[in-house]
Structure 1
Amino acid sequence: MSLFQNILIIVILIAGAGFLSLTEIALAGARKVKLKILAESGEERAQKVLDLQEQSADFFAASQIGLNAVAILGGILGEAAFRPYIVNFVNRIYQGPWTENIGFILSFSLVTSLFILFADLMPKRMAMIAPEKIAVSVINPIQIFIKICKPLAWAINAIANLLFRLFKINTVRDDNITFADISAVMDAGAQAGVLQKQEHHFIENVFELEERNVPSSMTTRENVVFFTLNEPEESIRQKLAEYPYSKFLVCSNDIDSVIGYVDAKDILVRILNNQSLLQLNESTIRNVLTIPDTLTLSEVLDRFRSTKEKFAVVINEYALVVGVITLSDIMITVMGDWVTTIEADQQIIKRDNNSWLIDGSTPIEDIKHALEIDEMPDDENYETIAGFMMYKLRKIPRPADAVIFGAYKFEVVDVDHFKIDQLLVTRLLEKSTEPEVIEPPSS
């Protein structure tokens, strides 16, 4: 054959190998989520791609048959076609016993480079750019090619399956989507600008509802405002004016003897109607939802939805009231900085770019968001930043006690009756890998 015919055959072989390489990467890299969206929109070829991914053994066998056959044939033809011309060229520069060997090496390198570049590297990089679009475009011709190679592919697959069973290798693809997968997709979307920073934050918070327990968002016991059955009218009026809550617990004598709750609206109606508030009665007291402190926020949402309630009392294993939680508290957890609570002062105050004043009762998840910390050490042992300090200090804290973790120093600023009221968090120049406890000198 002439040089032109040889070149034409090699070009055809390279094009065939490139098509198979392109198809192989596109079909393997096409994401099921996007293919399902295309299929639901009426694209029949997308469903064919999904079906092929479910039964991909025949395709990969056929693809490897085609690629290896073309590579071997291209090497034989290419080396034979180019070597005489390369040998003649080498003879002009060098004449000796190595001429034929040099011609073989150069012709082999030329053909190999052409196949690597145009039949392997470029098609695969193109397929990675838009795998779903390419997979849908090539699915019909590749199905024809699979049918042609079916007999040989069946034999190869039978041998491969036998070897897989012999070595107990599981060949079933796991397509379950985990939270880590979704989180990675959200991070990629945020980096690409598809998701705004605040939207990304919202979605992360929604997923955190499954992980965060009730104590991380509830109003703690010491901050719960409640009425007693014999509450003086003046005291009720004062609490209504001082605390702009919509619901108040009603207890017999103390907070652990809960009877129910009253809606501030009902009391205001009585005031407007000039009715006495000297004694709270059944017409104003409602049954209160009681939940354990071990529930997640997601489970609390389910309870609120099933009971049509928006307010619940949280109790611990000793049947003591540890706090109250409302639907608004959970929404604040999701919305973050977009929601400003009127029921409490801001828990995290940013003084400058490198320091924060933080309330001791601030949930540890909020701390992680504010300081951009991925993980706190042993965070299953505490719920708040005060709990973190006590866990690391291994004692009742006092002012000036400090813990260094990561790039931050957590220092106790104020303690009230053994309770950490406020901490100062400072960003350090050098990052610490292990938490370090710093105690003030004894007075």
Structure 2
Amino acid sequence: MSFTQSLVILLALIAASSFFSMAEIALAASRRVRLRQMADDGDPRADTVLHVQEQPGYYFTAVQIGQNAVAILGGIVGEGSLTPYIADALYWIDNPVVLRHLSAALSFIAIISAFILLSDLLPKRIGMSQPEKFAVRLIRPMQACVALLKPIVWFYSRITDLVLRVSGMPAQRDDRVTPDDILSLAEAGAQSGLLARNEQRVIENVFELDSITVASAMSTRDRIAWFNIDDSDTIIRARITEQPYSTYPVVQDDLDHVIGYVDAKDLFQRALKNEPINLRDPALLHKVLVVPAQVTLAEVLDQFRQVHEDFAVVVNEYSMVVGVVTLNDVMSTVMGDLVAMDEEEMIVRRDDNSWLIDGITPIGDVERALGIDTLPDEDSYETLAGFLMVMLRRIPKRTDTVTVGNFTFEVMDVDSYRIDQVMVTRKTPAVE
């Protein structure tokens, strides 16, 4: 066999091995979501690939049979064909034994290198770049190979299935998409520039709703505008002018006895029509949803959906009202920086290593802002003020400080035992 003939046969074997390598990696790396989209767009080959992914045993068996057969043939053809020509090139070596062994070794290295580079590494790199595209292009030729090798494929597939059953290993891949998968894709999209960082943060916030308590989104007790059931028309009109909100709780005597709520639009309609406003009117007073402070935002959304409301009163374990939450509050938590907030921010970053934080800020928000995993005795408090009280074992005073790890918390302002502002300073700058 001439050198040209040997070279043509080797190139043909390398091309066949490249085909099997690319077919293997393309099927394994193809994403079902993308394939489903291609199938919906009218490509029947994508639907075929999806079916093969569900039962890939015969497919991969045919790939391995083809790759191994080609590799064996390549070794036989290459070593027998290239060794004489390499020996001729090494004519200056006088020792025939050394020449024979060295020629065989160089022939072996050349064949192995060609197969590794051209039939394994290169096709797999190409197949990984666009797996769905190559999977649909190669599925029909691979089905022909499976049909051609069906008896052998059936035999080895049955042996493989038996081994998997005996060992207890799964025979099918798990294509379930988990929240971690989605978050990883969002992070990859943000790093590549295809997804804005704010959009990535929105996706993360959606998956955090089941871990963030309602305290992180609610308006706290001292910021609630409410009416007493016996308030006069004059008082009601004055309050909605001074404190314009969309919803107002209605109480009996004090805030801890909420009996319902009124919608601002109903009040405005009566005010514009110069009609008297009486909170005992059943047409104005609505039944209020009450939720415990320990529930998550995901649970609050579920309760909003069940009762068809978008407003709830939040109470603690002693049935004391600690705040109110609206659907807009939850959505603002999800949207983050994409929406503009008219209210003063509870956490203001002064520079890279210091923050000015309101004392009633939920401790979870403080931890996220500072990049802290947990704080000491975290189950004993819900707000930054509660954290300082637990650490100091008394009511904090102005200039009191608490140091935890790399952070120092200094009380800046106290108003009637209420901690208004806390300065948090990072002692050692964070390493980027």
* Fold conserved between structures, TM > 0.5: yes
Q: Does structure 1 conserve the Cα–Cα contact (< 8 Å) formed by 2:23 and 2:135?
A: yes
Aligned partners of 1:322 and 1:304: how far apart in 2? 19
- Which residue of structure 1 lines up, in the alignment, with residue 351 of structure 2? 352
Alignment-derived partner of residue 107 in structure 1: 107
2-side partners of 1:128 and 1:54: how far apart?
A: 20
Partner residue in 2 for 1:361: 360
Q: Which residue of 2 aligns with 1:436?
A: none
The AA in structure 1 aligned to 2:154 is W
**Segment of structure 1 superposing worse, 6-15 or 208-217:** 208-217
Q: What is the CA–CA distance in structure 2 between the aligned matches of 1:137 and 1:374, rounded to whole Å?
A: 50
Question: For the Cα contact (< 8 Å) 2:198–2:337, is it kept in 1?
Answer: no
Q: 1:335 to 1:166 in 2, by over 3 A?
A: closer
Aligned to 2:46: 46
Distance 1:265 1:412 in 2: 41
SS in 2 for 1:248: strand
Q: Is the 8 A contact 2:93 2:99 kept in 1?
A: no
User: Unaligned stretches of 5+ in structure 2?
Assistant: none
One-letter code aligned to 1:198: N
Cα deviations by residue, 1:240-279 (Å, 9 ceiling, x for unpaired): 33322222211111112111122334444555555566x6
3-state SS of paired residue (1:194) = coil
- 1:69-104 Cα deviation digits (max 9, x unpaired): 111111111011111111222232453531111111
Q: Distance in 2 between matches of 1:299 and 1:13?
A: 61
* Structure 2: distance between partners of 1:370 and 1:31: 35
- Which range is displaced more, 255-264 or 391-400? 391-400
> Could you say which residue in structure 1 is the equivalent of 2:97?
97
Q: CA contact under 8 A between 2:391 and 2:402: conserved in structure 1?
A: no
Q: Cα offset for 1:346?
A: 1.9
Distance in 1, Cα, partners of 2:87 & 2:318: 93
Deviation at 1:339, TM superposition (A): 3.2
Higher mean alpha-carbon deviation, 84-93 vs 41-50, is at 84-93
How far apart, in 2, do the equivalents of 1:383 and 1:105 lie?
Answer: 72
Q: Secondary structure at the match of 1:346?
A: coil
SS in structure 2 of the partner of residue 98 of structure 1: helix
Pairwise CA distance, 1:391: 5.9
* TM value normalised by structure 2: 0.90
Is 1:296 paired with 2:296? yes
Which amino acid in 1 is paired with 2:95? Answer: Q
Listed as ranges, the matches of 1:105-254 within 5 Å are 105-231=105-231, 235-254=235-254
Percentage of pairs with the same residue = 46
2:263 paired residue number: 263
1:129, CA displacement in angstroms?
Answer: 0.7
The match for 1:412 is 411
Q: CA RMSD in A?
A: 2.7
Give the conservation status (yes or no) of the 8 Å contact 1:311–1:326: yes
Deviation at 1:35, TM superposition (A): 0.5
- Please state whether the residue corresponding to 1:97 is helix, strand or coil: helix
Aligned residue pair count: 428
After superposition, the C-alpha distances for 1:308-357 in whole angstroms (9 at most, x for unaligned) are 32211122343332221112211221222343444x42212232343221
Rounded Cα–Cα distance in structure 2 between residues aligned with 1:391 and 1:9: 80
Q: Report if the CA contact (8 A) 1:393-1:403 is conserved.
A: no
Between the aligned partners of 1:198 and 1:119, the Cα distance in structure 2 is 43
User: Structure 1, residues 36-68: CA drift from partner, whole Å, max 9, x if none?
Assistant: 110111110001111111111111111111111
- Partners of 2:245 and 2:384 lie apart in 1 by 25
C-alpha distance in 2, partners of 1:392/1:119?
A: 65
